[in-house]
Amino acid sequence: MQSNLSLEGGLSPLDLSIMVGVLLAVTWVGHSRAGKQRGLSDFFLGGRRLPWWAVSASIVATEISAVTFVSLPSVVARDGGNLTYLQIGLFGSLVARAIVGFVLLPAYYEQQIYSPYDYVARKLGPSSRRVTTVLFSLGGILGQSARVYLTAVVVEVVLHAELAQVQAVTGIAPFPFAVGSICVVSIIWTQMGGIATVVWTDAALFGLFLLGIGATLWFIGVELTGGWSSALQEAREAGKLQLIDTSWDPAKAYTLPVAFLVASWGQVGPYGTDQMMVQRLLCCPDVRAARKAILWSIVAMGVTLLVSMVGVGLWAYGREHGFSLAGQAMIAEKPDRIFPVFIAEVLPNGIKGLVLAGAFAAAVSSLDSILAALSQTTLVAWGRDQVEPARALSLSRRLILVYGVLLGLTAIGIQFVEPYYASLLDLALAMAGYTGGALLAAFVLAFAPLRVDGSGLAWSAPLSLLAVFALVWHDPWAQGVVLLCAVLMALVWALCAKGRSQGAALVFVLGLLGCLLLTCFGQLPQGESLPWPWYTPVGTVVALVFGWALDRQRVVVSAP
């Protein structure tokens, strides 16, 4: 039936009560299970005593995030949408999880480290830890800010009436207020008990996430004439249920060749070199438990399938009932708004609050994770050994606050980049890809039997970022950015790389010239830019080749 609600209506007292009650309950669960933090090991690794199933649930909750919860349904529901995104997870992430579980984790546990970047530092030297920490921090801020942005869009749509009242009193616009609210809750949860609180709250949020999705699927089935059986039949006839795309078109992001050949490579980074994920795995008592946690986290694909079915349901509901004129206008402006509009206009009181709490929870579970990881890696890279344990714990909490503010500001800035991407799903996945390749290359250099000391990584990492940017962006402004960065990097080399041979300088200059050529002539045959799954593999190759070629043990150093 056609909904009588409009976007002029806000949440009912029941919905608000459910949201507040759920957040308070999750806060209590996380705080009560976290225990007392006696030092950095407890705060950052949960004392290495967390059960594998809680760690696995936390990984799933973080992996799903608000992007999957909100943007994936819109990708399926919009014109031409289908289930081909699932190929990336079904094939690519399964291979990546196995590599992490059987190759990387044993090495990490053997070294008894706080962070994967400690492993790189022991293999390639202390400077490489700082390089990898910067790469992770930049990629984490970019990637997670996109997720905060999307959740703020949901809150802005559903709580428009309440946020309008807040603006009337405080003068703060709805969108920045929504971003700030998400960041404040995340900071509080992370501050309470470090990674242990994060893991236990994420495990609870995972259950809430499933409950919200289940309630949405049930209600859609009730509203559709013929229920889900009829909707699935219509979706199949319309091509909405297409799962496999065997195309070799390089401009397509979601194809079987990309899943096997590109995504499996690229996703080793998020699962095995990203502190946000690895930190959880290092909380397990031993490598066997950590391996179980990462392998069992493949259940995330089942959750992703359920979220995709929400997109099928939204498509079927829109065909049968449609939305209000205001809702249609909002969806036409930004297709990613279809689920928030459905929540606001269609879902009944009670379920609306539950689903909105699920969306909020999905964002917070990702944000508190990145805050804990950013705090730890920064503290370890710059000064853990020079700071007393008690003061280090206090400093880590201050870093959480600083990074929380920085993530909020970046999330507000994401709105200026969003129009360049087909969906917020692509935007969020692309952001971390800029740095993911260089980060993965550092681990390849550390694991591979190469006689290198990591000194070339400081030069190859920014070169990798610039190369990926040049492959993706080809507008005149982007070409100007690449030219400016190339000139600045050449000046830095001239000032800081004294003692390097002329051959090393030539290699570096050729890399910069290559970036200029890529931004000017690197478009695909039909004028498209490189899809996001290629960002990490391309960045890895560039950082690996130049990291090896510019290494001091590889390049002849001239006499002083």
Q: Are residues 360 and 422 in the same domain?
A: no
228 within domain boundaries: yes
Q: Are residues 363 and 440 in the same domain?
A: no
Segment 44-72, tens digit of pLDDT? 555 567 889 888 888 887 777 667 878 89
Instruction: State yes or no: pLDDT of 34 exceeds 70.
Output: no
Q: Are residues 400 and 430 in the same domain?
A: no
Segment 498-511, tens digit of pLDDT? 777 788 899 999 99
**Mean pLDDT across the stretch 25-36?**
65
Q: How confident is the model at residue 470 (pLDDT cuts 50, 70, 90)?
A: very high
Name which of 311-315, 384-388, 392-396, 514-518 the model is least confident about.
384-388
Q: Is 80 exposed, middle or buried (CB count within 10 Å of its CB: 0-12, 13-18, 19+)? A: exposed
Q: Are residues 400 and 439 in the same domain?
A: no
* Contact in structure between 297 and 60 (CB atoms under 8 Å): yes
Q: Are residues 254 and 224 in the same domain?
A: yes
Q: 321-330: long-range contacts at Cβ-Cβ below 8 A with a sequence spacing of 24 or more? A: 321/1, 321/2, 321/3, 321/223, 321/346, 322/2, 323/3, 324/3, 324/5, 324/6, 324/7, 326/6, 326/7, 326/8, 327/6, 327/7, 330/7, 330/157
Domain that holds residue 452: 418-560
Report the distance separating Cα 311 and Cα 294, nearest Å: 27
Point out the domain boundary residue: 416, 449, 470. 416
Taking the alpha carbons of 236, 340, 4, 306 in that order, is the dihedral positive or negative? Answer: positive
The share of the chain scoring above pLDDT 90, in percent, equals 30
Task: Give the total number of structural domains in the chain.
Answer: 2
Point out the domain boundary residue: 388, 416, 444. 416
Q: Are residues 381 and 474 in the same domain?
A: no
Instruction: State the Cα torsion 92-97-100-102 to the nearest 10°.
Output: -120
Those residues whose C-beta lies under 8 Å from the C-beta of residue 128, and which sit 6 or more positions away, are 117, 120, 121, 442, 446, 454, 457
Instruction: State yes or no: pLDDT of 2 exceeds 70.
Output: no
Segment 152-188, tens digit of pLDDT? 888 888 787 788 888 889 988 888 998 998 888 888 8
DSSP string, 173-208: -HHHHHHHHHHHHHHHHHHHHHHHHHHHHHHHHHHH
What is the reported pLDDT for 6? 45
The share of the chain scoring above pLDDT 70, in percent, equals 89
Those residues whose C-beta lies under 8 Å from the C-beta of residue 189, and which sit 6 or more positions away, are 27, 30, 197, 198, 201, 364, 368
Point out the domain boundary residue: 416, 444, 471. 416
**Mean pLDDT across the stretch 22-39?**
65
355, 327, 361, 317: which is closest to 9 by C-alpha? 327
